[in-house]
């Protein structure tokens, strides 16, 4: 009762302080920093610009300011020498508890005020794609949770050191670490969460979950640290250790601290958001798994049940094998590392299985021993919260599973068979997915999905067929438009929230011009059904990809902000062109897997063609400025790089550093050096027309079924040039 | 050493006038007690004398020279213990005194440091960090730093605050010994201290000097104005300043001062405290 | 005054604060070296004067805060209480102030030394590189003007209001201000059109640093001369 009275008194006192007013007012205003100065969310979606950035910046500023307020308030008693009087009536431990609670309440009031103030502003700025749910979640998570973290860390530092100056330095360093060195580690950046984008058209629950997880982990950890610092509060004239020894006599106190710390360590180490994929993105150990002998896969089925509320998925899959070896065989699947596998049966009997600890490209390897029977039906259940690739941990949000949006890729959809060859029918598969009524299922590729059952619980089951071991499906509240260009049918899917923006921007016309160019210069696509292409607007992704019969377009390319910005260069709106061009240059059957040091990949010709289209659309100056000049600069930088010039120093570095540097260099070689070489080849063969003819010839060349890939040598031969001719130096 | 204050006035920037046209002359050897109620202007007067403040009007002469010119000379011969002061908690007693000796420009200060430590009974705490000392011990360190270098002019502002009776007597005697050949100004509320050691008294109130003279002269001013009575006999309290009230077996015995003693009050011999109260109360009436 | 200087240094250096900030510097510096400096700046080696300068400039905010906190030792409320005694001594306030300023400078220099030693250990451990003499110029160029300015301006401000020092600490923190973040080390080598250029400075930068240095010294001198007596 006394504590409650004290809490009330202390809260009144705190809220009467002018400094508290100042901190509250500045914190409420601080989201404006995210509109002007500090923009961690790089995506050009409206929610990224007008909700994520202001909320994160507000969190950063208010977290720091509330930390300072905590130091100021905790030091106040000592500063004004009133501590002797207070501690004669109340124990320092009780008072510290009351003070931290009042600071938390002040933070809560600040958050409420900030949300009230910024609601109309955000709504006005964002326009038709404003999402109330996103707003109501983003501010508490991005901004609100930063304040208790600031308070706890600063208060803990003060309670340990009992010095305002040292506390301020420790707190500044702790904040600086988050803002600089830890900024790219999604679990460590407590002040400025790794949120690179919020989707306008679809939901954002996955990234919210990730930030909440990070913030709660820190909250628990800092609560633990604060509790220990609380136990170190100086009492009875004792020093730090003496006071600690006195305080821990009530055993529940250190127990609480230890539980909190242990829990935070477990939460940190056992985070469920991202996997442990090999950071070496050139490693392909799963591709090297030896194929089984005398075993073929004759087909498979999968039934998938996403839980849109929990963001999880459960599924059941059945594979059919013909085992001609007369022996047990080990078959391998790639599976999302977040899933648990159970009930693995072969012909109805349990069989042993093992999920590897090693992970690569967002997959773990599931190894199952199948019996020596001639016909084997292997069934299994799997499910859980899908994890994302650790190497993309700063760009989380892609495995969104909600009532508004879903993207299930390969092993996240169903276990992907790795090491069993198919029979002559390849891998015929029937996939069924049960989704809420409002969602439309779009298989990425040539397949079409149909509704096969409607259920009373507001769901319906979609079914589609495919013929491969992997696959991607999208589902969401989509609008479908059909565009016909030169006998080429394009099914254009985009989010229903975006209808007005798409229409006003004339996105359909932009698509037409790209297809026009490619068909005119290179010809029709030689794959897919009846020259049909699906264009799917994805949730903000930071790029896109293309596969047989389908191409993905990032929603960020269509935001009102992006479409109205004429100054944007090759990194924004033209991603759409880039991804469309991949339909011509860059599908799986066009280029072999590229190696880390290799120049030649799907990207070279794609980037070059994108440049040509952009040149045609926006003029030579624009293309020169945003393409050629950019490539040249990146390539110059590459050749001048210290480690490129002195590889012996690179070799001496720790492995992770080597990898970081090598990855960056590979990107430059494929995306910048190769297009420049093609541009040089263009000049050497007699100009754009001559190059177009050569590329047309390469695109329509007769394929070698044993090695259908287009090689660098083929390109050089077609140009009549040698590698040396294209040296840029 | 001779200090003269001529028409000294002090008004703080916030407009509060603390001293008004003060005239005083202090000459060594002497131990002068400075008395006055809280807020009378005692500490301000001392700060002006140590050149920590600059008067808004009037003059301070040190050995006949204006303070502005004689400041360095004054400070070289000054020992000052302010009412509120801080010490370097991270240093030991000896280190702090060594530090202060250096600030005072004392050469080979070891001896004087030892003497000062001995004088304030802190020998066993010489190597203790100041932060470990009690309130009384810190006060003694303050006194010790004032004694460093045997200065000619010592100013002590409430020096015996926080000291136990035994220590207080010890310091009273120390001040008395020190004043044998020097000028010591002692500000205190403890009349007993003044009575037992001071040869001169200055009473200040509302920024003015109410009295200067010996303790005996001050006592004389109160003769016939101090008396005792039984509380049960009390008729009118107005004009009476009760200075003590003792519960006895026969009832409550009161002592009071008044400009004119009522008939039921029996006149008694005044003490220095009675005289001081009488002086202050008379000023209040006027 | 040597004795006073010694005691003031002892007060500053043998304090919890000083040990704390050294630990923070060691941790933060090691992170910078391992995450940023190791990559080298502007095509130069991680141990080039340019990369080293970049490292130093990234450490400046911490040293800036540290230097100003050292000054708060002399402007705190506790210090004001001590002034009651020290101001009654014959020592000139300007001289006394200067001695204390020198102590703060020594403390700051020691912090800077920790930063430098950390880099030296890192270069030795990671690259077996020990040609330290090439680091002298960037050290002087980066640290001396900035820290003299920090101390001079801090000392100047501390004379007016102690809390101004805390406000002044925030100056180098926001990266967007870029005033003291030493972008010169990342940009200058690229303008020289030579691979691994020898360390040199543009006239503009030299002038800017000299202005910073002289302003620091001037503020220091003004503060010393105007040391409050009353």
- What are A33-51's pLDDT values in tens digits? 888 778 888 887 889 999 9
Strands B266-267 and B226-230: antiparallel
Domains of chain A and any CATH numbers: 2-269 (no CATH), 277-433 (2.60.40), 477-557 (3.30.2010.30), 585-726 (1.10.390)
What CA–CA distance (Å, rounded) separates C159 from C132?
39
Please choose, from the candidates A101, A109, A89, A215, the residue with its C-alpha nearest in 3D space to the C-alpha of residue A155: A101
Q: Which two tokens stand for residue A440?
A: 């439309």
What CA–CA distance (Å, rounded) separates A728 from A628?
13
**Is the per-residue pLDDT at C147 higher than 50?**
yes
User: Which pLDDT belongs to residue A120?
Assistant: 93
Which residues of chain C are within 8 Å of residue B99 when distances are taken between CB atoms?
3-4, 7
User: Which pLDDT belongs to residue A134?
Assistant: 94
**Is the per-residue pLDDT at C178 higher than 50?**
no
> Are the beta carbons of A178 and A188 closer than 8 angstroms?
yes
Q: How many Å lie between the alpha carbon of C60 and the closest alpha carbon of chain A? A: 12
User: Residue A383 class from Cβ within 10 Å (0-12 exposed, 13-18 middle, 19+ buried)?
Assistant: buried
Q: Give A52 or A653, the one with higher predicted confidence.
A: A52
Q: What are the tens digits of pLDDT across the range C68-123?
A: 988 888 887 777 788 778 888 888 888 888 888 899 999 999 999 999 999 999 99
Name the residue facing C14 among B84, B90, B105 (closest C-beta): B90
User: Which pLDDT belongs to residue C173?
Assistant: 53
Contacts for A13 with CB less than 8 Å, ≥ 6 apart: none
Q: Which two tokens stand for residue A491?
A: 């099914």
What CA–CA distance (Å, rounded) separates A68 from A20?
10
Which residues of chain C are within 8 Å of residue B82 when distances are taken between CB atoms?
84-85, 88
Q: How many Å lie between the alpha carbon of C220 and the closest alpha carbon of chain B? A: 21
CB within 8 Å: B90 and C15:
yes
Strands A532-538 and A550-554: parallel
Lowest mean pLDDT among A450-459, B91-100, C1-10, C193-202: C193-202
Cα-based distances in Å from A499 to A120, A131, A271 = 23, 15, 38
Q: What are the tens digits of pLDDT across the range B211-231?
A: 999 989 999 988 888 999 888
User: Which pLDDT belongs to residue C197?
Assistant: 86
User: Which pLDDT belongs to residue A562?
Assistant: 55
User: Which pLDDT belongs to residue A564?
Assistant: 52
Q: What are the tens digits of pLDDT across the range A671-689?
A: 888 999 999 999 999 999 9
Per-residue pLDDT band at C172 (split at 50, 70, 90)? low
CB within 8 Å: A168 and C69:
yes
Beta-bridge partners for B10: B19
Percent with pLDDT over 90 in chain A: 44
Q: How many Å lie between the alpha carbon of B201 and the closest alpha carbon of chain C? A: 24
Per-residue pLDDT band at A267 (split at 50, 70, 90)? very high
CB within 8 Å: A170 and C20:
yes
Q: Which chains touch A (3 or more CB pairs under 8 A)?
A: C
What value does the mean pLDDT of chain A take?
86
What CA–CA distance (Å, rounded) separates A28 from A223?
25
What CA–CA distance (Å, rounded) separates A130 from A122?
8
CB within 8 Å: B82 and C3:
no
Q: What is the mean pLDDT of residues B149-175?
A: 85
Closest residue, chain C, to B53 (C-alpha): C230
> Are the beta carbons of B159 and B188 closer than 8 angstroms?
yes
Cα Rg, chain B, nearest whole Å = 21
Name the residue facing C85 among B51, B53, B145 (closest C-beta): B145
Q: How many Å lie between the alpha carbon of A354 and the closest alpha carbon of chain C? A: 37
Q: What is the mean pLDDT of residues A414-424?
A: 90
Closest residue, chain C, to A170 (C-alpha): C24
What CA–CA distance (Å, rounded) separates B62 from B26?
10
User: Which pLDDT belongs to residue A566?
Assistant: 43
Q: What are the tens digits of pLDDT across the range B166-189?
A: 888 888 888 888 888 889 998 888
**Is the per-residue pLDDT at A130 higher than 60?**
yes
Per-residue pLDDT band at A136 (split at 50, 70, 90)? very high
Beta-bridge partners for B230: B253
Which residues of chain C are within 8 Å of residue B51 when distances are taken between CB atoms?
88, 229
**Is the per-residue pLDDT at A83 higher than 90?**
no
B15 touches chain C (CB under 8 A): no
CB within 8 Å: A166 and C20:
yes
- Please give the biggest Cα pair distance in chain A: 93
Helix (H) or strand (E) holding A485: strand A478-485
CA A508, chain centre distance (Å): 28
Lowest mean pLDDT among A271-275, A508-512, A715-719: A508-512
Name the residue facing C88 among B50, B84, B105 (closest C-beta): B50
User: Which pLDDT belongs to residue A505?
Assistant: 61
Q: Which chains touch B (3 or more CB pairs under 8 A)?
A: C
User: Which pLDDT belongs to residue A365?
Assistant: 94
Name the residue facing A181 among C17, C32, C45 (closest C-beta): C32
Q: Give A128 or A442, the one with higher predicted confidence.
A: A442
User: Residue A269 class from Cβ within 10 Å (0-12 exposed, 13-18 middle, 19+ buried)?
Assistant: exposed
**Is the per-residue pLDDT at C58 higher than 90?**
no
Helix (H, G, I), strand (E, B) or coil at A611: helix
Q: Which chains touch C (3 or more CB pairs under 8 A)?
A: A, B
DSSP A193-239: -------SSS--HHHHHHHHHHHHHHHHHHHHHHHHHHHTS--TT--
Domains of chain B and any CATH numbers: 2-214 (3.40.50.300), 219-285 (no CATH)
Please choose, from the candidates B140, B132, B121, the residue with its C-alpha nearest in 3D space to the C-alpha of residue B92: B132
Instruction: Tell me which range, A625-629, B268-272, C57-61, C106-110, is most confidently predicted by mean pLDDT.
Output: C106-110
> Are the beta carbons of A52 and A142 closer than 8 angstroms?
yes
Per-residue pLDDT band at A123 (split at 50, 70, 90)? very high
Per-residue pLDDT band at A594 (split at 50, 70, 90)? low
Strands A450-454 and A459-467: antiparallel
**Is the per-residue pLDDT at A652 higher than 50?**
yes
**Is the per-residue pLDDT at B107 higher than 90?**
no
Lowest mean pLDDT among A276-285, A687-696, B258-267, C180-189: C180-189
CB within 8 Å: B104 and C15:
no
Per-residue pLDDT band at C176 (split at 50, 70, 90)? very low
**Is the per-residue pLDDT at A504 higher than 80?**
no
**Is the per-residue pLDDT at A80 higher than 50?**
yes
Sorted by where each begins, the domain ranges of chain C are 2-225
Closest residue, chain C, to B94 (C-alpha): C7
Alpha-carbon dihedral A678, A679, A684, A685, rounded to 10 degrees = 70
Name the residue facing B87 among C82, C88, C229 (closest C-beta): C82
Q: What are the tens digits of pLDDT across the range A307-332?
A: 999 999 999 999 999 998 888 999 99
Q: Give B78 or A508, the one with higher predicted confidence.
A: B78
User: Which pLDDT belongs to residue A572?
Assistant: 44
Per-residue pLDDT band at B285 (split at 50, 70, 90)? low
Tally C-beta pairs within 8 A across A and C: 74
Q: What are the tens digits of pLDDT across the range A318-373?
A: 999 999 888 899 999 999 999 999 999 999 999 999 999 999 999 999 999 999 99
CB within 8 Å: B84 and C91:
no
Edge-to-edge strands, sheet with A405-409? A405-409, A472-476, A440-444
A482: left (phi over 0), alpha (psi -120 to 50) or beta: beta
What CA–CA distance (Å, rounded) separates C218 from C152?
7
Which residues of chain C are within 8 Å of residue A643 when distances are taken between CB atoms?
40
Which residues of chain C are within 8 Å of residue A642 when distances are taken between CB atoms?
40, 43-46, 196
Q: What are the tens digits of pLDDT across the range A147-158?
A: 999 999 999 999
**Is the per-residue pLDDT at A435 higher than 50?**
yes
Choosing among A19, A75, A169, which should be mutated to test the C contact, i.e. which has the most C CBs within 10 A?
Answer: A169
**Is the per-residue pLDDT at A233 higher than 60?**
yes
Q: Give B204 or C227, the one with higher predicted confidence.
A: B204
């Amino acid at each position: 009762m006394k504590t409650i009275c004290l809490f009330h008194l202390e809260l009144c006192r705190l809220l009467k302080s002018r400094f508290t007013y100042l901190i509250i007012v500045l914190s409420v205003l601080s989201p404006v920093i995210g509109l002007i100065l500090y923009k961690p969310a790089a995506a050009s979606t409206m929610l990224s610009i007008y909700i994520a950035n202001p909320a994160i910046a507000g969190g950063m500023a208010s977290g720091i300011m509330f930390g300072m307020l905590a130091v100021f308030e905790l030091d106040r008693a000592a500063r004004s020498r009133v501590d002797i009087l207070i501690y004669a009536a109340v124990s320092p431990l009780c008072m510290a508890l009351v003070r931290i609670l009042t600071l938390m309440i002040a933070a809560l009031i600040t958050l409420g005020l900030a949300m009230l103030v910024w609601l109309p502003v955000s709504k006005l700025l964002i326009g038709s794609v404003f999402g109330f749910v996103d707003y109501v979640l983003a501010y508490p998570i991005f901004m609100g949770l930063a304040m208790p973290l600031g308070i706890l860390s600063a208060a803990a530092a003060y309670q340990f050191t009992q010095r305002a100056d040292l506390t301020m330095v420790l707190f500044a360093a702790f904040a600086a670490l988050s803002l600089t060195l830890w900024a790219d580690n999604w679990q460590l950046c407590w002040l400025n969460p790794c949120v690179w984008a919020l989707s306008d058209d679809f939901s954002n629950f996955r990234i919210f979950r990730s930030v909440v997880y990070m913030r709660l982990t820190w909250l628990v950890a800092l609560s633990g640290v604060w509790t220990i610092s609380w136990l170190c509060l100086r009492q009875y004239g004792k020093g730090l250790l003496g006071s600690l020894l006195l305080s821990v006599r009530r055993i529940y106190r250190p127990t609480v601290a230890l539980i909190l710390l242990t829990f935070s360590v477990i939460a940190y180490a056992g985070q469920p958001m991202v996997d442990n994929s090999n950071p070496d993105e050139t490693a392909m150990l799963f591709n090297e798994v030896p194929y089984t002998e005398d075993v073929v896969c004759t087909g498979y089925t999968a039934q998938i049940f996403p839980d849109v509320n929990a963001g999880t998925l459960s599924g059941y899959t059945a594979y059919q094998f013909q085992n001609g070896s007369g022996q047990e065989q080990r078959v391998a699947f790639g599976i999302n590392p977040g899933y648990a596998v159970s009930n693995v049966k072969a012909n109805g009997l349990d069989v042993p299985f093992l999920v590897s600890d090693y992970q690569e490209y967002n997959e773990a390897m599931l190894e199952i021993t199948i019996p020596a029977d001639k016909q084997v039906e292997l069934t299994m259940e799997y499910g859980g919260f899908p994890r994302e690739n650790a190497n993309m941990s700063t760009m989380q949000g892609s495995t969104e599973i909600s009532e508004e949006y879903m993207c299930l890729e390969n092993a996240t959809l169903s276990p992907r068979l790795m090491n069993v060859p198919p029979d002559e029918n390849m891998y015929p598969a029937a996939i069924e997915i049960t989704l809420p009524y409002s969602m439309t299922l779009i298989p990425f590729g040539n397949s079409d999905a149909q509704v096969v059952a409607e259920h009373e619980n507001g769901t319906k089951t979609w079914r589609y067929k495919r013929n491969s071991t992997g696959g991607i499906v999208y589902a969401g509240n989509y609008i479908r438009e059909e565009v016909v260009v030169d006998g080429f049918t394009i099914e254009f899917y985009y989010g229903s929230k975006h209808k007005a923006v798409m229409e006003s921007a004339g996105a359909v016309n932009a698509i037409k011009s790209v297809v026009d160019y490619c068909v005119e210069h290179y010809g029709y696509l030689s794959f897919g059904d009846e020259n049909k292409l699906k264009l799917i607007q994805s949730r903000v992704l930071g790029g896109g990809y293309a596969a047989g019969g389908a191409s993905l377009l990032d929603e960020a390319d269509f935001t009102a902000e992006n479409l109205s910005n004429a100054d944007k260069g090759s990194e924004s709106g033209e991603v759409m062109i880039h991804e469309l061009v991949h339909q011509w240059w860059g599908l799986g059957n066009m280029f072999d897997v590229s190696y880390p040091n290799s120049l030649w990949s799907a990207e070279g010709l794609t980037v070059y063609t994108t440049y040509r289209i952009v040149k045609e659309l926006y003029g030579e100056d624009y293309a020169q400025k945003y393409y050629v000049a950019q490539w040249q600069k990146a390539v110059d930088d590459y050749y001048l790089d210290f480690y490129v010039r002195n590889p012996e120093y690179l070799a001496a570095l720790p492995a992770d550093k080597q990898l970081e540097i090598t990855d960056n260099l590979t990107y430059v070689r494929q995306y910048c050096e190769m297009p420049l070489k093609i541009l040089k080849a263009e000049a050497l063969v007699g100009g754009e027309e001559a190059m177009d003819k050569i590329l047309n010839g390469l695109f329509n060349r007769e394929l070698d079924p044993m090695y259908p890939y287009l090689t660098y040598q083929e390109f050089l031969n077609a140009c009549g040039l040698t590698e040396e001719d294209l040296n840029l130096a | 050493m001779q200090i003269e204050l001529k028409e000294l006035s002090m008004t703080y920037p916030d407009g509060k006038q603390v001293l008004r046209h003060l005239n005083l002359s202090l000459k060594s050897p002497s131990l002068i007690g400075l008395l006055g109620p809280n807020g009378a202007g005692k500490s301000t007067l001392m700060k002006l004398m140590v050149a920590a403040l600059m008067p808004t009007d009037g003059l301070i002469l040190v050995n006949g020279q204006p303070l502005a010119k004689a400041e360095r000379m004054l400070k070289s011969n000054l020992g000052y213990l302010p009412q509120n002061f801080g010490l370097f908690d991270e240093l030991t007693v000896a280190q702090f005194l060594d530090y202060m000796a250096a600030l005072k420009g004392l050469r080979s200060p070891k001896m004087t440091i030892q003497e000062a430590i001995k004088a304030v009974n802190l020998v066993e705490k010489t190597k203790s960090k100041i932060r470990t000392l009690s309130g009384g011990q810190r006060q003694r360190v303050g006194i010790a730093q004032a004694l460093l270098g045997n200065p000619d002019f010592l100013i002590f502002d409430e020096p015996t605050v926080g000291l136990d009776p035994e220590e207080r007597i010890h310091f009273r005697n120390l001040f008395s010994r020190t004043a044998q050949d020097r000028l010591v100004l002692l500000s205190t509320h403890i009349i007993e201290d003044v009575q037992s050691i001071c040869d001169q008294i200055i009473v200040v109130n509302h920024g003015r000097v109410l009295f200067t003279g010996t303790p005996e002269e001050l006592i004389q001013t109160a003769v016939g104005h101090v008396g005792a009575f039984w509380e049960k006999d009390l008729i009118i309290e107005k004009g009476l300043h009760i200075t003590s009230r003792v519960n006895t077996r026969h009832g409550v015995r009161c002592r009071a001062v008044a400009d004119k003693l009522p008939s039921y009050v029996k006149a008694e011999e005044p003490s220095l405290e009675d005289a001081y109260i009488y002086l202050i109360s008379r000023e209040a009436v006027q | 005054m040597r004795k006073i200087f010694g005691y003031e240094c002892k007060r500053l250096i043998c304090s919890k604060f000083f040990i704390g900030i050294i630990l923070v510097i060691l941790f933060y510096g090691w992170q910078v070296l391992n995450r940023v400096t190791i990559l080298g700046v502007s095509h130069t080696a991680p141990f080039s004067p340019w990369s080293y300068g970049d490292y130093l400039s990234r450490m400046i905010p911490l040293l800036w805060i540290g230097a100003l906190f050292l000054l708060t030792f002399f402007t705190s409320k506790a210090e004001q209480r001590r002034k009651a005694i020290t101001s009654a001594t014959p020592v000139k306030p300007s001289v006394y102030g200067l001695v204390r300023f020198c102590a703060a400078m020594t403390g700051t220099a020691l912090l800077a030394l920790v930063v430098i030693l950390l880099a030296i250990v890192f270069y030795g451990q990671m690259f077996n590189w020990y040609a330290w003499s090439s680091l002298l110029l960037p050290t002087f160029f980066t640290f001396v003007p900035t820290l003299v300015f920090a101390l001079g301006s801090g000392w100047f401000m501390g004379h007016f209001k102690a809390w101004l020092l805390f406000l002044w600490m925030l100056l180098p923190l926001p990266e967007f201000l870029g005033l003291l973040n030493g972008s010169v080390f990342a940009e200058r080598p690229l303008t020289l059109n030579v691979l691994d250029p020898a360390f040199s400075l543009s006239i503009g930068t030299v002038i800017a640093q000299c202005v910073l240095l002289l302003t620091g010294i001037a503020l220091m001198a003004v503060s010393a001369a105007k040391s409050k007596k009353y």
